[in-house]
Amino acid sequence: MLQFQIQSDSDIPASKQLFDQIRFAIASRQYPPGHRLPSTRQLATITGLHRNTISKVYQQLEESGLVESIAGSGIYVKAQRHEDPSLPDSPLFSKYPHASQLIHKSLDELLWQGLTLTQVKELFLTAIDWRLRCSAKVLVTVPNRDLGAGELILQELEKALAIPVQLVPMEELAQILSKTQSGTVVTSRYFIAEAESIASPYATRVIPLDIYDYVKELAMIKELPTDTRLGIVSLSVGIISVAEILIHSLRGDDLLLIAAQASDRHQLLALVRSAQTIITDPASYPIVKQAILAVRDDLIRPPDVICSENYIGEKSINLLKRELGLG
């Protein structure tokens, strides 16, 4: 940040001193197009001027066409016409007006480093082509010991991304990647280190996914009456294991905890006959409902079935969409 100096004993008004110093910073490219100016609070601390005075200076700069105010973001140096050429054959620039500034700024920085336009074009096209190729093949990987977690991720990603996704056991990942020119590997953050070590020799991105926090479900479990028979059903043995630890930490031996994998029908039928409340993941929910129907004649009162949120957090899904260029 430039160190603005205001001479209080000068005949030149303080506001004009600040205006001229900022205008010089813009003219000399110390503040290039797109640069965010200090906030009024920051400048007030530096210069000793009142924030209202600084706001008026910023207003003058905006009226002069040197800066522009972006609501909720700040004051930015405005690109001049020659620095922000219109691209009439690209309607996307009308839809995303700041994209033009970002692209031209990136081009300027690369050209300043000594690259030619031809080299810049090659860099951009290579990077874009690589991302497109990576996005064309998405692999979900988890260890064989917890393929259920991979199935959960697979189902949720196919629904959220609307593209084909392939489940690959981590033990077979290297073999698959050796036959793949490029791709994107996704896995739970539990397994990210192992996935990265396997994928590192190949032209592949590895993206970790954050799991759902189960805050609502844990809050509900805290309120269950003592001695409630609580069932946990999931495709994933990992989820069941973590759930058992978390529930025990919350309630100790206050609850009778029963767990079953959705794929183990014998164990599942025993669970639905005993449990008063069942918590299950979305993929296992219809399997649990079918199991309850299968033993309905043995039940005095059907258990309450609570379906949790998705296994993968919404924020993580949105991040993956962005990384894959899906919006």
The tens-digit pLDDT sequence of the chain (327 residues) is 567 888 888 889 999 999 999 998 888 888 888 888 999 999 999 889 999 999 999 999 999 889 998 888 889 998 765 444 444 456 766 677 677 777 877 888 888 888 888 888 888 887 777 677 666 788 999 999 999 999 999 999 988 888 888 999 999 999 998 888 778 899 998 899 999 999 988 878 888 988 888 889 999 999 999 999 999 999 999 899 989 999 999 888 899 999 999 999 999 999 999 999 999 999 999 999 999 999 999 888 999 999 988 888 888 888 888 888 876
Q: Taking the model in full, what pTM does it have? A: 0.60
Report yes or no: 230 and 247 within 8 Å, Cβ to Cβ.
yes
CA distance 263 to 272: 14
CA distance 84 to 68: 14
Length of the chain: 327
CA distance 187 to 196: 10
Report yes or no: 219 and 198 within 8 Å, Cβ to Cβ.
no
The single-letter DSSP state of residue 263 is: T
CA distance 220 to 127: 47
Give the model's pLDDT for residue 81: 55
CB-side exposure of 282: number of CA atoms within 13 Å? 13
Amino acid at 199: A
- Report the 3 state secondary structure along 73-87: CEEEECCCHHHCCCC
Closest by CA position to 187, among listed 171, 163, 167, 162: 167
Closest by CA position to 163, among listed 193, 132, 192: 132
Report yes or no: 290 and 272 within 8 Å, Cβ to Cβ.
no
CA distance 185 to 206: 5
